[in-house]
Amino acid sequence: MVSSLKPRALVIRASKIVHKSLFLNSLARFVTEEAICLMFRIGFGDIHTIECWRYVVYVHAKGVSKFVSYADFPPILGVAPPSLTELIKWRRRWRKQHEYAYRKQAPEWWAEFFTNEFWQALSEPMLQSWGELIGLIKFAFPEDTLQELRKSYRLEKSLLN
């Protein structure tokens, strides 16, 4: 796999996420620049600002000026795991999708997000934590996508050993 030839390193950037409300949405902890980049297919340098308001996230980037629901962002490590009410919020959001076949699943780019996170894991315990998070939300993926995520997990685990 070509991606395994790239060196792994921790990338630290200045955050472009700004909280504009006195009240924080419980899902605000999952808002990341990586997710925005995958959601809109843009690069990190294209993002101007990400404003977290009480009920929505406003994304201002090169060629992008959109409001996004907090329920569009996948869970991440380093913050509290998703609660049952947040899982319900995600499912409610996915039900609003237009294609009937995908109404009960996360957007397709979530799988790409988690595959990237597997690749960026610097240690086996971190990779295992990502795997446990996927296990918590496995209902969000169709079976074939879940198999691809498991395959990617095993590949990265073998590379870390």
Per-domain residue ranges for the chain?
A: 11-73, 74-161
pLDDT tens-digit series, residues 81-130 = 999 999 999 988 888 875 666 677 888 899 999 999 999 998 999 999 99
Q: For the segment 31-68, what is each residue's pLDDT rounded down to a tens digit?
A: 999 999 999 999 999 999 999 999 999 999 999 999 99
Q: Which pTM does this prediction carry?
A: 0.85
Strand order of the sheet with strand 17-19? 17-19, 47-52, 56-61, 64-69
55 near 89, Cβ under 8 Å?
Answer: no
Please, how many CA atoms are within 13 Å of residue 48, restricted to the half-sphere of its CB?
A: 9
Is residue 105 a contact partner of residue 140, using CB atoms and an 8 Å limit?
yes
